Structure 1
Amino acid sequence: MKKVYFLLPIIMLVFLTILSCKSDDDNGVDVIPPNDRGEQAVVDQLIIEKYLETHFYNYEEFANPPADFNFNIVMDTIAGENATKIPLIDQVSSKTVNDRLEEDVSYTLYYLSAIEGEGDSVAFPDICTITYEGTSLYEKTVLSDVDENNDGVIDNNDLKEVYPTELFDAAVTPVRFDLTRVVNGFQDTMIEFKTSTSGPMEQPDGTITYSDDFGVGVMFIPSGLGYFASTPAGSGIGAYNELMFTFKLFQSEIGDQDDDSVISIMEDLNGNGFEEDDDTDEDGFPNFADPDDDGDGTLTKDEILTQDYIVNITQGESEPTLASNEYEIERVESVNSEGDDIVTITTITLTDTDDDGTPDYLDTDNS
Structure 2
Amino acid sequence: MKIAFYGSSLLSSYWNGAATYYRGMLGELARHGHEITFYEPDAFDRQKHRDIEPPSYAEVKVYPATVEACRAVIAEAAAADVVVKASGVGVFDDMLLEGIVAASRPDAIRIFWDVDAPATLAELRAHPDHPMHRAMPALDLVLTYGGGPPVIEAYEGLGARRCIPVYNALDPATHHPVPPDERFTADLSFLGNRLPDREARVEEFFLEPAKALPSRHFLIGGNGWESKAMPANVSHLGHVYTRDHNAFNCTPLAVLNIARDSMASTGYSPATRVFEAAGAAACLITDAWVGLDGFLAEGSEVLVARDGRDVAEIMAGLDRDRARAIGEAARRRVMAEHTYARRGVQVDAILKEEAARKALRSVA
Pairwise same-fold verdict (TM > 0.5): no
Point out the structure with max Rg over C-alpha. Answer: 1
TM-score, structure 1 as length reference: 0.22
TM-score, structure 2 as length reference: 0.22
- Answer 1 or 2: which has greater helix percent: 2
